[in-house]
Structure 1
Amino acid sequence: MKCQGGGSFPDEVVIQILSRLPIKSLFRARTVCKLWHRLLSEDYFVHLYNEESVRNSMVVVEVSESLDSVPTFICVDRSRGVSEFSLDFLNDRVKVRASCNGLLCCSSIPDKGVHYVCNPVTREFRLIPRRERSMNRFHPDGEPTLVGLACDLHARTFSVVLAGYHRTFGHRPDGTFICFVYDSGSNKWRRIVSFQDDHFTHMSRNQVVFVNGALHWLTGSSSYVLVLDLRYDVWRKMSLPEQVSCGAGTRAYLLELDGGLSIIQISEGWMIIWALKDYEMENWQVVDKISLRCIRGLVPGIFPISQTSEYLFLATHKQVLVYQRKSRVWKEMYSVKNGSMLPLWFSAHAFRSTIFSCK
C-alpha cells in the first residue's frame, strides 16, 4: 500500500484499518510515509482510535516476588494475551494507585507525596506538582485514603484526586474528609472539604470509576456509592439496588460497563451483574447472571477487575481469568509461576490502550 498523491489525508478505509491496530504496530506504521506519521497528531484520528480502544478492556497487574524486588508490570489482553511493560521511564520506584482511559496515576514508594500521571504505551508522563502542605495530615500513615484519576478523552484533560480524613497532630481523626483535586489544564490544586463517615476496603479503594464527569467509589460496607462530582466539587451518595446486600458469603464490587456504572455481586454459587441504566433516577437493572460452578474452588478468593458487554476479567491470588459472556466459557489468561508476596487482585487495575498525551 503506497502513500502517494496530492491528498492531504489518508483514505478513510486506511484510517479505519490503522485505528484498529495495537499501539505498538501503529507506531511502527508511522514510518511508512509522512501522512501516516502525521495521523497521531490529527484530532479526528486520535478520537477514532480512542473510541475503538475503549471497547477493549484489559487488566494491568503489578507482580512482586519479594519486598525488595523490582516489581514487574504485566498487561493482560483478551485477544493478544499477556505482555510485560515497564515504568522505568519515570526514573522512580512506583506503585499504581489508579487507572483511567489509558492513563495511570502512580505514587513514589521512596518519596511520599510524589505522584505521576503517565501513559505507559506512549511513555509520556507528568510529574504532579506537590501541594503546598505535606500529605502527612492524611490519616493513616501519611497516605490519602482514596486516590482517583479522571481522564476526559474528549476534552483531553485529566484530574487527580487525593482524599482522606484530616487529623490534628496528636489527636484521633475528627471525621473531616478533605479532598484535593489537581487539574491538568490549570496545573493547580483545589481543596474540597466534606463531612463523611465512610470506610473502604482495599478493593473498594482501588475500584474507582469515572463516568458522567464524576468519580465513584463503593463503600466498604457496600451500602452505597460515594460520588465526587468534579464539575461542581460536590460529594454525594448514590443508592444501590435493594437486592444487593453483603454478608454471609456475599460480596459486591464497582466496575465500569460500556461507559456506565456496574455492580458485580458474588455469592457462593452465582455472580450477578447490575448496570445503572438511568444515572439521574438511579435505576439499576440485572444484565447477566453467571453460574460459578465451574470455578467453585476459586470463588472465595476471586475478584472482578474489568469488563465489557462481551467478557469479564477476574483475578485470584495467583491467576487472571477471563469469562466470555456469550459462550459462557472460562479461560485462564495468566498464572504466577513463582511465589508472589501479594495476591494478584491486590494490585490489579482495569486498563485500556489510548493515545492520550499527559504532558
Structure 2
Amino acid sequence: MNTQDKDLKAVEHIRAHQMVEMKGIGYLPRDMIIEILSRLPAKVLCKCRCVSKSWHDLLTRDVEFMTRHVQWSKQKPLLLVRRYISDGIGELNKSKITIELTSIDMQGDVTDKFRKVIDGPVHTFVSCGPLSILCCMYSLYVCNPSIHQVVRVPYHANSRLYNIGFGYLPVSNEYKIVHMFYHSFIGNGKMGCEIFSFKTGEGVTSGSWRGIGDCPFSAWTDEYPVSVNGTIYWALSSGWKDKSILSLDLEKEEFSCISYPIHESKKYNFLEYIGLMSTLCVVGFSAEASTMDIWMLKEKKNKTWAMEYSINLFPLCPKFLVPSDDHSEEILVHMEQRDLICYSLKSQTSRRIGYYRAMKTYNKPCLYYGSLIPMHSSSF
C-alpha cells in the first residue's frame, strides 16, 4: 500500500468516527448533532433521553454536548422561586416539609414546577449556573431544577449549618460549597470555614468536606453571598460605617476584605451587591432621588472602585435585587409595585417581568439556566 492509499484510508477512518448513528436522525456528523440538540430546552431534552440508548448516552454522558448545551442555555436564563406546600407531610413527620420549586422565563411565564420533601424550612437559597443550593438548619441540598433532581449533601450529624456560599471553577470543572460557622458563641467569636467539593461528572455524594482554617475576619454575615468569577463575596454586618465585604478566592482558598466604595452611605436607603459583567458590583438605591447607582470593582488586587452607572428609576420604588448571572449585562430589580424590572446596562432600556402579580406567595427568587448535568454519579 502506497503513501497516498494510507492517507485516504486514514481520512476514511476519521470520518467514520466523526459520524454518529442515532435512531430517528440517521448518520450525521457528530458535531452537527451536538449543535442541533444543544439548542433545545432542557425540558425537551429530558423527553429525548427515552428515544433510544444512543440518544440517552449522548444527552447524559457526553461532556462536549453538556458543555455546549450550557453555553446556549445561558442566553435564556430562568428564575427559580420556591414556596412551601401543606400536603399532610408535616402531620406525619414534624421535621419534614414539602417545597415546590417553580421555573419562570424572562417573559414571566411558568415553564416548569416540581415538589420535593426536605428537612425543614430553607434559610439559604442561592444558585451557581445550572445548580442551586437549598440549605436548612441541619440539612443541605444541591438541586438541578431542569431535571428535577435534588440530592442531599452528606454532613456531620446534628451539626447546625450557618452561612453557605456556592461557586464554580471552570478550570477544574469543580463546584465548591463553602460553610462559614462559629466554633462557639462563647469566647472570641472566631469563625471557621470548611469546603465541600464535587466535580460535574462524579456526582454530589462523591464529594467530601475539609476544613481550611479560621476566617481572619470575625464578623457575622447577614446577606446571601454572591459568586463572581471564582470568588465568593459576603457583606459583613458592621453597620453603615466601615461596611465591608468578605471575599474567598475559590482556587487559592484565601480570604481578603474589601471596603465598600460608598463613603457617603447616608444618601442611600439601602445597599446591595451582585455580579455583573464578570465584576463585583455594589448598588446603592436612593428613594429621594429615585436613582440606582452602580459601583464596579475595577481592580480586584488594588480594591479600586468606580461608579459606572446612575440610573433614574422614577416613578418606581426598588425593594431588592435579584441575583443574576455574573457575566450578564442585565440587572434584575424587584419593585414595591410587585413587578420585576430587567434593566439592560448595554442598551440602557428596561422591561417588566410581572410574575409577582400572579405568584404573591413566592419568596425571593434566584436565577439559573437549563442543563442536563446529573447529580448522581451513577448517571454517567
Normalising by the residue count of structure 1, what TM-score does the alignment of the two structures yield?
A: 0.77
The equivalences for 1:137-148 within 5 A come to: 142-144=160-162, 146-148=163-165
Match of 1:161 in 2: 178
Residue of structure 2 aligned with 1:180, choices 191, 194, 198: 194
Structure 1 position 219, deviation (Å): 2.2
Q: Which amino acid aligns with 1:160?
A: I
Number of residue pairs aligned between Structure 1 and Structure 2: 329
Partner Cα separation in structure 2 for residue 190 and residue 320 of structure 1? 42
Residue of structure 1 aligned with 2:156, choices 105, 110, 131: 131
The equivalences for 1:65-144 within 5 A come to: 70-79=98-107, 81-88=109-116, 95=122, 97-108=125-136, 112-131=137-156, 134-135=158-159, 142-144=160-162
Q: Which amino acid aligns with 1:260?
A: T
Q: For residues 17-47 of structure 1, what are the alpha-carbon distances to aligned partners after superposition, in whole Å with 9 as ceiling and x for unaligned?
A: 4323221122234456665544322222211
Match of 2:232 in 1: 215
**Are positions 1:42 and 2:56 aligned together?**
no
The 1:339/1:251 distance shift into structure 2, 3 A limit, reads closer
Q: For residues 217-247 of structure 1, what are the alpha-carbon distances to aligned partners after superposition, in whole Å with 9 as ceiling and x for unaligned?
A: 1224472220122333322112343x46533
Percent sequence identity over aligned pairs:
20
The 1:114/1:2 distance shift into structure 2, 3 A limit, reads closer
Partner Cα separation in structure 1 for residue 331 and residue 35 of structure 2? 26
Structure 1 position 256, deviation (Å): 1.7
Kindly indicate whether the alpha-carbon contact (under 8 Å) linking 2:41 and 2:73 is maintained by their aligned counterparts in 1.
no
Kindly indicate whether the alpha-carbon contact (under 8 Å) linking 2:274 and 2:324 is maintained by their aligned counterparts in 1.
yes
Structure 1 position 177, deviation (Å): 0.7
The alignment partner of 2:273 has SS state of strand
Q: Whose relative contact order is higher, 1 or 2, with alpha carbons under 8 Å and at least 6 apart?
A: 1
The 1:193/1:332 distance shift into structure 2, 3 A limit, reads same
State the Cα RMSD in Å. 3.4
Partner Cα separation in structure 2 for residue 354 and residue 189 of structure 1? 25
Residue of structure 2 aligned with 1:20, choices 25, 39, 44: 39
Q: Which runs of no fewer than 5 residues in structure 1 stay unpaired? A: 136-141
The equivalences for 1:1-359 within 5 A come to: 3-5=25-27, 7=28, 9-11=30-32, 14-30=33-49, 36-40=55-59, 41-64=61-84, 70-79=98-107, 81-88=109-116, 95=122, 97-108=125-136, 112-131=137-156, 134-135=158-159, 142-144=160-162, 146-153=163-170, 155-167=172-184, 172=186, 174-184=188-198, 187-191=207-211, 192-201=213-222, 204=223, 206-212=224-230, 214-220=231-237, 221=239, 223-241=243-261, 243=262, 245-268=264-287, 269-295=290-316, 298-299=317-318, 301-306=319-324, 309-316=328-335, 319-325=338-344, 326=347, 328-337=349-358, 340=361, 344-345=363-364, 348-359=365-376
Structure 1 position 131, deviation (Å): 2.4
Structure 1 position 92, deviation (Å): 5.0
Q: Which amino acid aligns with 2:180?
A: A
Kindly indicate whether the alpha-carbon contact (under 8 Å) linking 1:131 and 1:189 is maintained by their aligned counterparts in 2.
no
The alignment partner of 1:335 has SS state of helix
